[in-house]
Amino acid sequence: MGSAISIKNLCKQFGNVKALDSVSIEIPRGLSFALLGPNGAGKTTLVKIIATIMRPTSGDVTVDGHDIMREKEKVKAKIGLISHQTFLYEDLSAEENLIFFKNLYHLDDGEKRVEKALKIVKLFPRRYDEVRTFSRGMKQRLSIARALLHDPPILILDEPTSGLDLPGRRDFYEMIRRFKDEGRTVIITTHDVNEVRLIADAIGVLSSGKLLFSGRIESIEHDLEDLLIDLMGEQN
């Protein structure tokens, strides 16, 4: 299967604060991987480093075999990044938003890509509507469409269900399962144990910048919540 993402001895320091402390993870291709931990655990910092937005202090990260420091453009082509902040233009339509980002990517056959992405997230019937008229869930789906424009094999979603209502979460979980069925690798940061149960094949548990556990869900011999309590207790 091979690794979609390989992280070895990764450190990130802000002044005297270690946001990430010697983190090593192997994420196989085609899995949904949940990065679990409380606020301030280092999840978003890790995601930003993988996506080449932030430089690590030390350590090595490869994305589909490409080094994040030496091969940034190749790494960016492999990743679609979605945040809980949508970064959409409210006064533009759904289609106009995607056309704008398509032009930034300099994509060939861009119109077909825009249409395909809108259909995947079930927003094609609303393509001419201004984003200001969309619900939070619809905006998040449009953000996912934007991340799919260049057809990346790896999707990284940072707290993607933050602020979503129950129907919005259900739609999101359905899309994640579909992406995995297509062979994509999906990485999600969350602090919601129930979310992990629903969509993750494997997890990594971060706390205070340290990786406490990494492995397949089926390898966990007892309840996931009990595991987290044990891990946090051992750290404290």
pLDDT tens string for the chain (236 positions)? Answer: 679 999 999 999 999 999 999 999 999 999 999 998 888 899 999 999 999 999 999 999 999 999 999 999 999 999 999 887 778 999 999 999 999 998 888 887 878 899 999 999 999 999 999 999 999 889 989 999 999 999 999 999 988 887 788 888 888 888 888 888 899 999 999 888 888 888 899 999 998 999 988 988 887 766 677 766 666 555 54
CA atoms of 141 and 146, how far apart (whole Å): 9
- Sheet hosting strand 3-14, strand order edge to edge: 17-28, 3-14, 58-63, 66-67
Identify the CATH number of the domain defined by range 3-84+154-234. 3.40.50.300
* Secondary structure class of 15 (helix, strand, coil): coil
State the amino acid at position 214 in one-letter form: S
pLDDT in tens, 87-96: 899 999 999 9
Q: Which H or E run includes 194?
A: helix 193-199
The predicted pLDDT at position 229 comes to: 67
The predicted pLDDT at position 193 comes to: 83
State the amino acid at position 143 in one-letter form: S
Residue (of 227, 208, 201) closest to 28 by Cα position: 201
Which residue do the tokens 């149960």 mark?
197
pTM: 0.87
* Secondary structure class of 47 (helix, strand, coil): helix
CA atoms of 224 and 226, how far apart (whole Å): 5
Alpha-carbon torsion 214, 216, 217, 221, what sign? negative
Q: Is 106 exposed, middle or buried (0-12, 13-18, 19+ CB in 10 A)?
A: exposed
Give residue limits of the domains in the chain: 3-84+154-234
Alpha-carbon torsion 223, 172, 182, 189, what sign? negative
